[in-house]
Amino acid sequence: MQHIWRPMSFFSRLFRPKADAREALRPLWHRIVETSREERWYAQHGVADTVAGRFDMIATILCLVLLRMEQDEELVAPSVLLTELFVDDMDGQLRESGINDVVVGKHIGKLMATLGGRLGAFRDGLASDKATGLEEAVRRNVSLANEAQATSLAEALRAYADHLSSLGGDAILAGQV
């Protein structure tokens, strides 16, 4: 039997979009955003209900999830994909807000530097034996409408980090955070 070359078949395979490995993490990303928007962070713990405050909470919850993921070897590679979802989402948000293509890259670079700094601050704050370690990280990295509630927010974030630590890798990957 002679094989007949079918150009459409060849081209459709060649240009077919590849499965995006990040899609498996989209429920987790959506849950992070959903968690960051919970009213308690703003009403009870003093996070500023502003664009900056909302970004701060997304970045904070993402950091806590990423810090949990770095504790398990099998979650390290997915944590990179989760970070890529964050970048894609922030890229889209910047473009929607009217930032032009030339400047978006610079903004994304700043956001990534901010995320990296927060990862370090929250890692150190959670590891600190002093009760004020995480509170200091909160004061430096979260826009607060009420500075007096930094302690309350730090306690709530520590409880959330403890909750994440109690979860297995499969639950985290499934977005059951």
* Radius of gyration from C-alpha coordinates of the chain: 20
* Residue 4 placed within a domain: no
Give the model's pLDDT for residue 168. Answer: 96
* Residue 158 placed within a domain: yes
* Residue 102 placed within a domain: yes
Angle, CA of 110, 114 and 118, to the nearest 5°: 170
Which pLDDT band holds residue 112 (cuts at 50, 70, 90)? confident
* Residue 10 placed within a domain: no
Please give the mean pLDDT across all residues of the chain: 86
Does residue 111 carry a pLDDT above 90?
A: no
Instruction: List, in order, residues 6 or more apart from 128 with CB less than 8 Å away.
Output: 134
The count of other CB atoms within 10 Å of the CB of residue 102 is 7
Residue 54 tokens read as 């909302």
**What is the spatial distance between Cα 91 and Cα 111, in angstroms, rounded to a whole number?**
10
**What is the spatial distance between Cα 127 and Cα 133, in angstroms, rounded to a whole number?**
8
* Residue 113 placed within a domain: yes
Q: What size, in residues, is the chain?
A: 177
The structure's pTM equals 0.83
**What is the spatial distance between Cα 114 and Cα 12, in angstroms, rounded to a whole number?**
41
- Which range in 13-22, 99-108, 114-123 is most confidently predicted, on average pLDDT? 114-123
Give the model's pLDDT for residue 18. Answer: 52
Does residue 118 carry a pLDDT above 90?
A: yes
Residue 98 tokens read as 């009217």
Query: What pLDDT, in 10s, does the model give residues 46-99?
Result: 999 998 999 999 999 999 999 999 999 999 999 999 999 998 887 767 666 666
- Owning domain of residue 60: 21-173
* Residue 137 placed within a domain: yes
* Residue 15 placed within a domain: no
- Residue holding tokens 């989209």? 26
* Residue 2 placed within a domain: no
Give Cα separations from 157 to 18, 20, 25, 71, 173 (angstroms): 37, 31, 22, 18, 20
- Residue holding tokens 């948000």? 93
Domain count, the chain: 1
Query: What pLDDT, in 10s, does the model give residues 2-27?
Result: 555 555 555 555 555 555 788 999 99
**What is the spatial distance between Cα 28 and Cα 45, in angstroms, rounded to a whole number?**
23
Give the model's pLDDT for residue 16. Answer: 52
Give the model's pLDDT for residue 98. Answer: 65
